């Protein structure tokens, strides 16, 4: 299983986006985790999809065509993933603490975009936060920050 994931990343994804034409591993991992948040409540709301695209566009410096490719690849990877570990490991290896907190904040933006927070979304973001070593205080701070903006 891990060999097939490594092979996928090595053949389809640039290690560091040097040539500007490929999507980085961490972008794919971030997008896949956000897709998991969208799927957590078993209801795909159009507002969540729109917010997901907006979050990707705002937080990742990639061209529109690469954005579409990233979304497709992230959906495929999220469907095939057997655990969150394969994504969170890439995040831990490549993101500094502030970037990890930013990822959690973006997940809250998606979760609150349909104007209701489902318990499964909350639980999943909490698990991801633990897996990427974001402190509980930052987990709560980002949740409240996003929640206040949606009220």
Q: What is the pLDDT of residue 23?
A: 65
Using CA atoms, how far apart are residues 151 and 63, in angstroms rounded to an integer?
32
Residue 43 C-alpha from the chain's centroid: 18
Q: How many CA atoms lie within 13 A of 36 on its CB side?
A: 27
Mean pLDDT of 129-148: 96
Both tokens of 51, joined, read 């917010």
- The more confidently predicted of residues 76 and 142 is 142
Interatomic CA distance for residues 42 and 58, integer angstroms: 25
How much is the pLDDT for 137? Answer: 97
Domain spans of the chain? 24-150
Token pair 């061209």 is found at: 63
SS3 98: helix
**Whole-number Å distance between alpha carbons of 81 and 60:** 22
pLDDT band at 13 (very low <50, low <70, confident <90, very high): very low
pLDDT digits (tens, 9 = 90+) for 57-96: 888 777 777 888 888 888 888 888 878 888 899 999 999 9
Beta bridge partners of 14: 24
77 vs 101, higher pLDDT: 101
pLDDT, tens digit (0-9, with 9 covering 90-100), for 105-137: 999 999 999 888 899 999 999 999 999 999 999
What tens digit of pLDDT does each residue of 24-68 get? 788 888 999 999 998 888 877 788 888 988 888 888 777 777 888
Instruction: Provide the token pair at 73.
Output: 């690849």
Note the pLDDT of residue 95. 93
pLDDT at 14: 46
Amino acid 138: pLDDT: 97
Query: 149: pLDDT confidence band, cut at 50, 70 and 90?
Result: confident
Q: Into which CATH architecture does domain 24-150 fall? A: Orthogonal Bundle (1.10)
73's CB contacts (< 8 A; 6+ apart) are 12, 13, 23, 28, 31
């Amino acid at each position: 299983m891990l060999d097939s994931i490594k092979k996928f990343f090595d053949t389809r994804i640039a290690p560091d986006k040097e040539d500007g034409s490929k999507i980085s591993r961490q972008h794919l991992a971030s997008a896949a985790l956000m897709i998991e948040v969208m799927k957590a409540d078993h209801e795909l709301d159009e507002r969540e999809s729109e917010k997901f695209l907006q979050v990707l566009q705002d937080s990742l410096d990639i061209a529109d065509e690469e954005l579409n490719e990233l979304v497709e690849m992230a959906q495929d990877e999220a469907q095939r993933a057997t655990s969150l570990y394969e994504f969170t490991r890439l995040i831990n290896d490549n993101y500094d603490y502030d970037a990890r907190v930013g990822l959690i904040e973006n997940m809250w933006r998606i979760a609150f975009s349909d104007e209701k927070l489902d318990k499964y979304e909350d639980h999943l973001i909490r698990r991801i936060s633990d897996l990427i070593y974001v402190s509980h205080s930052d987990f709560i701070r980002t949740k409240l920050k996003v929640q206040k903006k949606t009220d």
